[in-house]
Amino acid sequence: ATDVSQDLEKVLFTSAEIQARIDEVAQQIDEDYAGRDILLVGVLNGAVMVMSDLQRAMRSHVEMDWMAVSSYGAGTQSSGVVRILKDLNADLEGRHVIVVEDIIDTGLTLSYLMSNLASRGPASLEIMTMFRKPDAAQMEVPVKYVGFEIPNEFVVGYGLDYAGRYRNLRDVGTLAKHVYS
């Protein structure tokens, strides 16, 4: 039978390591936002797993909403064009908003999204990302919560995809060469 985990070449973060880090970040957010209700804004599709685990690790009052913003399409390189495929249902006016992402690579998606969301009048606006690559530094998007800094390699799992696949892997790692060919 097919087992997609067989297509991983190297595991960078195990499911247990990811969950442990999620717990730490959730606790930090709870402390920082003590007494305030939080609106988590997840960026589809990649942030689905982080959104699910982060909010269950939190003790604050938390609501969630979703945006779909795609810049990658089916390839492994950013196209440089950000499209809003689905906008929020919630009004951000006066809300404490945390944008939740699986990964920041070039920072293009978030730099676009942050200026867009900031114009909607939130009381506060921060970012939580599970992974961040080195190139993100060029965009100067202030990121308050980072799970792990990772090297500049193409990784999949825990929401991260290759051509739509491999998001369902619990671990995060690099793909074997045969997958690309």
104 contacts ligand PRP (rule: CB under 6 A)? yes
Q: Which of residues 125-154 bind ligand PRP (CB under 6 A)?
A: none
Q: Which of residues 59-78 bind ligand PRP (CB under 6 A)?
A: 70-72, 78
55 contacts ligand PRP (rule: CB under 6 A)? no
Per-residue b/e over 80-90, b at no fewer than 16 CB within 10 Å?
eebeeeeeeee
The stretch near Mn ion (CB under 5 A) out of 16-24, 41-49, 120-128, 146-154 is 41-49
Catalytic residue among 105, 135, 161, 171: 105
User: What are the two backbone dihedrals, phi and then psi, of residue 2, each rounded to the nearest 5 degrees?
Assistant: -65, 135
- In angstroms, the CA 5 to CA 147 distance is 22
148 contacts Mg ion (rule: CB under 5 A)? no
Residue 8: Cβ-neighbour burial (10 angstroms; 0-12, 13-18, 19+): buried
The SS3 of residue 111 is helix
Positions marked catalytic: 105
Site of interaction with ligand PRP (CB under 6 A): 43-46, 70-72, 78, 101-109, 161
